[in-house]
């Protein structure tokens, strides 16, 4: 039976309180749920929906879990160095409020939008739930080109953005962290601005801070180490030996350089590396200490003696056992996926594989360890920073790494076990484990009032 507003009982989407009638007359209105529309949201919600299908999630629960719970858009003025006033637009999206405060980075980039933040916030919910962290996901940012802003302008922008979103953030509400074009410096400004507003220092209001302001030991290497911890255990479960595996890595920054060094120390052979300026290949393995020294002196990998040059994307296609994209999103595409010559892909970067490429890799039986699991060491150590700040008691880098390792390996075990039981990919299993967790939290909290 259809209801007067056109929705079927039990299958209604949000806004069944007469929305269909309103929309019929007001064509200019955005349909409920379309506020979040963006290319990234389409990918994130498709992943969510296919995992929700497998879990047979009730449609009413599903729509309650998928759309972000809270979003704030702010337009605010910033004084440029030449005295001009420029208006910037910023966002903060909090995806799930069912489990503790929300957590997620802040990015400065020209493409930042409500829809992009919504997708990234949903992925943060998935990552936190998968790792068993007591957070929902969030994401925020300011639409700007950070390369055309001076340090003084960036400081004014960061401080004003912090004050604008102040009503919805805080150590028990929503805890920001660095993302694209933000780092320790911006987090220090952020923490200071928040603290000025409340009248005392609140280091736990943000993570990714400098250590002297309450940042954690071991944060810098955390994401790369997390990749290596999960890979070590995964390889063992597959019955392979890590020593002797041939590894190709795209990206030699915070994440890629740590992964290359740690894997090489464990006996793996790094046969190809790439950065933004180009790639290098050595089928018998690169000397990673020598590569570090070369990059310290020459900035880029190109020209490294004894290695064959390759393009940035060419390294994705070299023969190897394990391919680790650790640079940008959308690097493994429908175009190059048929040519990959690896046995396993480990997504150290966020979103490096497009959905079409993912299907090709599944058909080719190349397993993919998904980003939400492979690079979750970073958010786990952010959580440990927040914990240390709350208790005003700090651990050394070893203790931080061991605690993170335990949490990452537990998540890995759950994902591999569920994937085996249900015959699904690791990406699907990771989504299912996470969605089950926050769906249960939302169910138990029920509906208020």
Which residues lie near ligand NAD (CB under 6 A)?
223, 250-256, 274-276, 312, 326-328, 348-350, 375, 378
Backbone angles phi, psi at 408, to 5 degrees: -65, -45
> How much of the chain is helix, strand and coil, in % rounded to 5?
50, 15, 35
**Looking at beta carbons only, is 97 or 340 nearer to ligand NAD?**
340
Give least dist CB 295 to ligand NAD, A: 9
> Is 139 a catalytic site residue?
yes
- The residues that bridge with 247 in the sheet, in sequence order, are 270, 322
Give least dist CB 344 to ligand NAD, A: 18
Full strand arrangement of the beta sheet holding 174-178: 70-79, 85-94, 136-143, 102-109, 174-178
Tell me how many degrees the CA angle 37-444-31 measures, rounded to the nearest 5: 20
What is the phi-psi region of residue 260: left when phi exceeds 0, alpha when psi lies from -120 to 50, beta otherwise? Answer: alpha
**Looking at beta carbons only, is 140 or 378 nearer to ligand NAD?**
378
Give least dist CB 88 to ligand NAD, A: 23
**Looking at beta carbons only, is 32 or 355 nearer to ligand NAD?**
355
Kindly tell me the burial class for residue 306, based on how many C-beta atoms sit within 10 Å of its own C-beta (0-12, 13-18, 19 or more). exposed
Both structure tokens of 20? 């269909």
Both structure tokens of 83? 């005295």
Give least dist CB 379 to ligand NAD, A: 7
Q: Reduced to 3 states, what is the DSSP secondary structure of residue 315?
A: helix
**Looking at beta carbons only, is 250 or 425 nearer to ligand NAD?**
250
Query: Using the 8-state DSSP alphabet, how is residue 385 labeled?
Result: H
**Looking at beta carbons only, is 132 or 183 nearer to ligand NAD?**
183
Give least dist CB 30 to ligand NAD, A: 29
Q: Which of 103, 139, 209, 310 is catalytic?
A: 139
Residue with tokens 């046969």: 271
* Active centre residues (catalytic): 139
């Amino acid at each position: 039976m259809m209801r007067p507003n056109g929705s079927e009982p039990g299958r209604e989407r949000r806004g069944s309180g007469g929305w269909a009638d309103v929309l019929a007359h007001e064509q200019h209105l955005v349909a409920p749920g379309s506020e979040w529309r963006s290319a990234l949201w389409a990918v994130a919600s498709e992943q969510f929906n296919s995992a929700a299908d497998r879990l047979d999630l009730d449609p009413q629960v599903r729509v309650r879990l998928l759309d972000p719970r809270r979003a704030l858009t702010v337009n605010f003025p910033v004084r440029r160095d030449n005295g001009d006033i420029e208006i910037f637009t910023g966002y903060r999206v909090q995806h799930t409020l069912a489990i503790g405060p929300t957590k997620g980075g802040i990015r400065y980039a020209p493409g930042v939008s409500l829809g992009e933040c919504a997708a990234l916030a949903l992925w943060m919910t998935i990552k936190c739930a998968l790792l068993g962290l007591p957070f929902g996901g969030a994401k925020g940012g300011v639409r700007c080109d950070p390369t055309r802003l001076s340090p003084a302008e960036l400081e004014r922008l960061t401080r004003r953005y912090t004050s604008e979103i102040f009503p919805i953030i805080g150590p028990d509400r929503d805890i920001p962290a660095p993302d694209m074009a933000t780092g320790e410096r911006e987090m220090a400004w952020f923490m200071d601005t928040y603290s000025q507003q409340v009248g005392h220092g609140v280091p736990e209001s943000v993570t990714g801070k400098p250590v002297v302001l309450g940042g954690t030991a071991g944060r810098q290497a955390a994401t790369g180490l997390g990749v290596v911890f999960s890979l070590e255990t995964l390889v063992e479960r597959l019955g392979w030996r890590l020593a002797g595996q041939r590894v190709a890595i795209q990206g030699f920054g915070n994440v890629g350089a740590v992964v290359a060094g740690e894997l090489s120390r464990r006996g793996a052979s790094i046969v190809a590396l790439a950065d933004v300026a180009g790639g290098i290949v050595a089928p018998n393995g690169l000397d990673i200490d020598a590569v570090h020294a070369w990059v310290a002196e020459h900035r880029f990998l190109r020209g490294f003696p004894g290695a064959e040059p390759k393009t940035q994307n060419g390294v994705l296609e070299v023969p190897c056992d394990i391919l680790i994209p650790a640079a940008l999103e959308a690097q493994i595409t429908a175009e190059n996926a048929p040519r990959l010559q690896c046995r396993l892909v480990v997504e150290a970067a966020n979103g490096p594989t497009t959905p079409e490429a993912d299907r090709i890799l599944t058909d080719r039986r190349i397993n993919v360890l998904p980003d939400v699991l492979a690079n979750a060491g970073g958010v786990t150590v952010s959580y440990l920073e927040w914990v240390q700040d709350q208790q005003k008691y700090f651990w050394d880098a070893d203790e931080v790494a061991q605690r993170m390792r335990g949490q990452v390996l537990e998540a890995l075990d759950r994902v591999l076990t569920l994937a085996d039981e249900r015959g699904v990919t690791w990406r699907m299993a990771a989504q299912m484990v996470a969605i089950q967790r926050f769906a249960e939290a939302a169910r138990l909290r029920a509906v208020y009032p």
